[in-house]
Amino acid sequence: MHIDGDPQETAEWLESLEAVRRAAGAERAEYLLRRLATSSRSINTVPTSEEPDYPGDLALEERITAYDRWNAAAMITRGSRLGLGGHLATYASAAWLYEVGFNHFFHAEHDQIYFQGHASPGVYARAFFEGRLSRDQLDLFRREPEGGLPSYPHPRAMPDFWQFPTVSMGLGPLNAIYQARFNRYLHHRGIKDTSRSHVWAFLGDGEMDEPEATAALTLAAREGLDNLTFVVNCNLQRLDGPVRGNTRIVPELEGVFRGAGWHVVKALWGREWDPLLASDELVARLDVIPDGQFQTFAASTGAYIRQHLLHGLDGLDGLDVPYSDEDLRRIVGGSRAGHEPRKVHAAYRRALDQRGAPTVILVQTVKGWTLGAGIEARNANHQMKKLTQDEFRALRDRLGLPVPDDALDGDLPPYLHPGPDSPEARYAAERRRALGGSVPSRKVAHHPLAAPSERPFLSAQKGSGQPVATTMAFVRLVKELMREPGTGRRWVPIVPDEARTFGMESLFPTAKIYSPLGQRYEAVDRDLLLSYKEAVDGQILLEGITEAGSMASFTAAASSYATHGEAMIPFYIFYSMFGWQRTGDQMWALADQMGRGFLVGATAGRTTMTGEGLQHADGHSQLLASANPACLAYDPAFAYEVSVIVRDGLRRMYGPGGEDVFYYLTLYNEPMPQPAMPEGVQEGIVKGIYRYAAGGGQAHLLASGTAIHWALAAQRLLREEYGVGVDVWSVTSWSELRRDAMTTTGVPYLRQALHGTEGPVIAVSDWMRAVPDQIRPWIDRPWASLGTDGFGLSGTRESVRRHFGVDPRSITDAVLKAVEAAERGGPR
């Protein structure tokens, strides 16, 4: 579009179109342009005449693909005898999309591939063909308790095999975009040369309905991520039924991606379509046939196709073509670009040759291809978990595989392999050697980071003469850690928006905000000390109003130690309400991907956000976080607790052990006194509890987060007005105390901490009661918990705390009742 080869002709065409616009209106001019534009028509972007030479041995590749098709179906069918099953149809439609990649495109050393989750049986079958998996392992598909293969791509279950969890649909495309973006981030910051890396994301057309699937398309185009290719398998079917019954998914997706600024490559029809596509009238008909009808063509006779495609469609005149009904059944019913390696290779090659923007390949297939008439293009094929032995015989004949009839006399089909010294096996091995090794593969060479010096932690541990919010204390701590030689540059601050709300504007002048374009404008606040500064080598990922995008960035950074061999230390700070509640699925995928870093739920709790009301008031994220086995969830009360937890997190995640965990810290925006750290409390902070203020021991107040201040106020009231002495304990993690109690073979740490004390226990927090109630089974004395159950509401902090009954006076009343009951020998 930037180079005009014939300006005079261009001027004449524009003059003609302008005349049409004046005479008949803009809609008429636009209609003519759309009829003329081949980019919006139902034809292949790369015509057969422009296809590059195929670089491989097609005969050998066809036999390898046949083995993989068979073994994927056999593995699922053999598992079905135990009621396990699996998904047959997805890989059957996409087999060549993967095989062409395995043989010619997927570079093991620097590419990242997001495999479509439901196609995992085919990936296992390919790994079996390469000798990476055994027959016994295939027979344990979906039998993980016996050491078998997980149903879908799960890195935590197969840490040397899968790189990315993708079966929670929509997260794969989102994460792929931010992975490609993070690759550029590493390169621009001089941490690793990622100029050769390419991200491939294999997706389903139905999956594109997930809002996350298209949420970041404009980001990818805006940042020119030509290191990214989406391959959308348009088999026109969802998990159940057509993707678009009455309309057409390919032009819809084409419009979405073109509008977002992507290159679009369409690979729709096989070579046998070429004579048919020479008819402009037939192409025009293809442009209006709804997908539901075309799905029917794939499962119909040639006579049906002739009647409904070539004759009588919406009153159109019939088209005569020199094809028999059998020809039409074969071509219209099944000839798709996605089933022809030359077409797939041409599309991939075109995608990699295009620069300046990401590319999406819209490739058409038939779901369940080669599996027989009972499965191909059928609405129910996603739920079909096995083939009969007769269907395997038909599959054998169709694929031309050497399987004698007597091998199919039993209940289970055999696995097939031509032998490690066969031409097929040697060819597959040679192709993978040329591309750097096998994929998928996850390789971790743990390189511990140097522990930070004592200096960054001292300020928080000394306390503050002025009230400081724990959110601000955390940001100050990280700012100091980012100045550490060696490891400081590895911190990745991530914030969706409102960085100034979290006090992060102090990072702008030094760390700067990452942008591959630099800063092409003068910031409106340029005269301020803490002005907005963007830079190509900026360290801060300021994502805009997208928690989903921020989590995707966090995941890419948190797993960089495995995907790039470069450990990064991300922290993602957000309104706590919009973390586990809004993007919890991504946090589970993060755990699956074994990400490491700090999630920071700021402005936490249900009573600290004055005036915000129901949807902004978080009283449950600590409970949601506690359900994730990889998450260490803390609710620190003081700045020194924050510093101890962060230091321990750095040791556990980035020290010699390199644990596959991540941390969730809830922080508060309410400025409160920050005392100096008492002696000998570090272990208790990490383990989850320590006695902060002894007061007589008649009762024990266990408090977390901001609630410690209400507990301390109640302690004073009890002493001064009622002469009751209570101890106040800081509980930094209810869930870690529970986890320890459930897993230890000795005395739980909670009981060790409370050993030697007597009197009732009253727990209080800014969370719903179920959060502190996690430790109730290990409290062997009278127990009561106070919390913020229910919806949030607007109001002053004091009034909202009175409403929920967690203010100092309510705590005092609860303690008095508990002490009185204990003295009477009341119920425990």
pLDDT of residue 434: 98
pLDDT of residue 383: 60
Q: Which of 228, 217, 227, 230 is nearest to 261 (CA)?
A: 217
pLDDT of residue 1: 47
**Ranges of H-type helices in 662-733:** 682-687, 707-722
Check whether 827 has a pLDDT greater than 80.
no
Check whether 377 has a pLDDT greater than 70.
no
pTM for the predicted model, two decimal places: 0.94
Check whether 431 has a pLDDT greater than 70.
yes
pLDDT of residue 319: 82
Between 185 and 612, the more confident residue is 185
Check whether 110 has a pLDDT greater than 90.
yes
| Mean pLDDT along residues 190-194 | 97
User: Lowest-confidence range among 48-62, 516-530, 730-744, 805-819?
Assistant: 516-530
| Mean pLDDT along residues 339-347 | 98
* CA 206 – CA 701 distance, rounded (Å): 53
Amino acid identity of residue 419, one-letter, is G
What are the angstrom distances between the C-alpha of 783 and each of 345, 708, 769, 787? 68, 18, 12, 13
* CA 423 – CA 60 distance, rounded (Å): 8
Share of the chain above pLDDT 70, in %: 97
pLDDT of residue 600: 97
| Per-residue model confidence as pLDDT tens digits over 4-41 | 889 999 999 999 999 999 999 999 988 888 767 656 68
Q: How confident is the model at residue 2 (pLDDT cuts 50, 70, 90)?
A: low
| Per-residue model confidence as pLDDT tens digits over 548-594 | 999 999 999 999 999 999 999 999 999 999 999 999 999 999 999 99
Cis check: omega of the bond before 636, within 30 degrees of 0: no
What are the angstrom distances between the C-alpha of 442 and each of 124, 209, 437, 593, 686? 15, 29, 11, 10, 31
Q: How confident is the model at residue 384 (pLDDT cuts 50, 70, 90)?
A: low
pLDDT of residue 379: 63
pLDDT of residue 616: 85
Across all residues in the chain, what is the average pLDDT?
Answer: 93
What are the angstrom distances between the C-alpha of 197 and each of 182, 217, 705? 11, 19, 43
pLDDT of residue 82: 85
Check whether 484 has a pLDDT greater than 90.
yes
| Mean pLDDT along residues 717-736 | 98
Q: How confident is the model at residue 807 (pLDDT cuts 50, 70, 90)?
A: very high
Check whether 259 has a pLDDT greater than 50.
yes
* CA 731 – CA 736 distance, rounded (Å): 10
Share of the chain above pLDDT 90, in %: 82
| Per-residue model confidence as pLDDT tens digits over 169-187 | 999 999 999 999 999 999 9
